[in-house]
Amino acid sequence: MDMKIAIPLFGTRISPRFDFSPEIRIITVENGKVVRRENFPVAHLNLIQRLDQLASCGVDKVICGGIDEFCLNQLGSKGIEVIQNIAGEAEIASDLFMKGRLRPGFCCDRRRQRGFCAWRRGAGGRRS
């Protein structure tokens, strides 16, 4: 399974807003394994340029926090699937996604006391 996943970032966390993320991580998956992780600054791009960049990078899926209807429709029209309302650490979210366990609305925070990743269905949401 080859694909490219984009995660709008806010530090190491998933950006709460798709349209205001200062950075985007693009994860390349080949034969079901992550082969590359690259971060791109996007603060200087306007919304349309951000959307265009995702399409020109060949992104298939976007894992993000909040996203408005306009962006959702635009990504849909470019054939990009969106898993929205995800909060927490980007690393945990991408791991859960690769295991096929990420669902819209998950909160991917680390439980420090127990030392392992945990999620809870926090914010609700839908897959588009």
Partner 1 sequence: MKREEGDKFFHVILNSIADGVFTTDNDGKITFMNKAAEEITGFSSKEAIGRYCFDIFRADICQTRCALKETLKTKKEIINLPATILKKGGQKIPISISTAVLKNEKGQIIGGVETFRDLSVIEELKKELAEKYTIGDIISKNHLIHDIFNILPNIAESDSTVLIQGASGTGKELFAKAIHHLSRRKEKPFIKVNCGALPDTLLESELFGYVKGAFTDAKKDKPGRFALANEGTIFLDEVGDMSPSLQVKLLRVLQEKEYEPLGSSSPRKTDVRIIAATNRDLSRLVNEGKFREDLYYRLNVVKIDLPSLSQRREDIPLLIDAFIQKFNAKTGKQITRVSDEALRLLLDHDYPGNIRELENIIEHAFVLCKGDCIDLDCLPKEFVEGKGEISPSIFPKAETLFKQAEAEIISQTLKKYGGNRAKTAQALGIDRTTLWRKMRKYDLL
Torsion, CA 30, CA 31, CA 33, CA 34, rounded to 10? 0
Residue of 1, 44, 69, 99 that binds partner 1 (CB under 8 A): 69
Residue of 80, 83, 87, 90 that binds partner 1 (CB under 8 A): 87
Q: From CA 114, how far away is CA 128, in angstroms rounded?
A: 33
Residue of 39, 46, 58, 111 that binds partner 1 (CB under 8 A): 46
Q: From CA 69, how far away is CA 74, in angstroms rounded?
A: 9
Give me the amino acid identity at 107: C
Query: Which residue(s) pair with 81 in the sheet?
Result: 61
Residue 67 binds partner 1, judged by CB under 8 A: yes
Residue 90 binds partner 1, judged by CB under 8 A: no
Phi, psi (5° rounding) for residue 92? -65, -40
- When the beta carbons of 95 and 122 are compared against partner 1, the nearer one is 122
**DSSP H helical segments within 1-128, as ranges?**
47-56, 69-77, 90-98
**Furthest-apart CA atoms within the chain: distance in Å:** 43
Residue of 85, 89, 97, 106 that binds partner 1 (CB under 8 A): 85
Residue of 3, 17, 37, 53 that binds partner 1 (CB under 8 A): 17
Residue 39 binds partner 1, judged by CB under 8 A: no
Q: Which residues bind partner 1 (CB under 8 A)?
A: 10, 15-17, 19-22, 46, 48-49, 52, 65-70, 72-74, 76-77, 84-85, 87-88, 107, 122-125
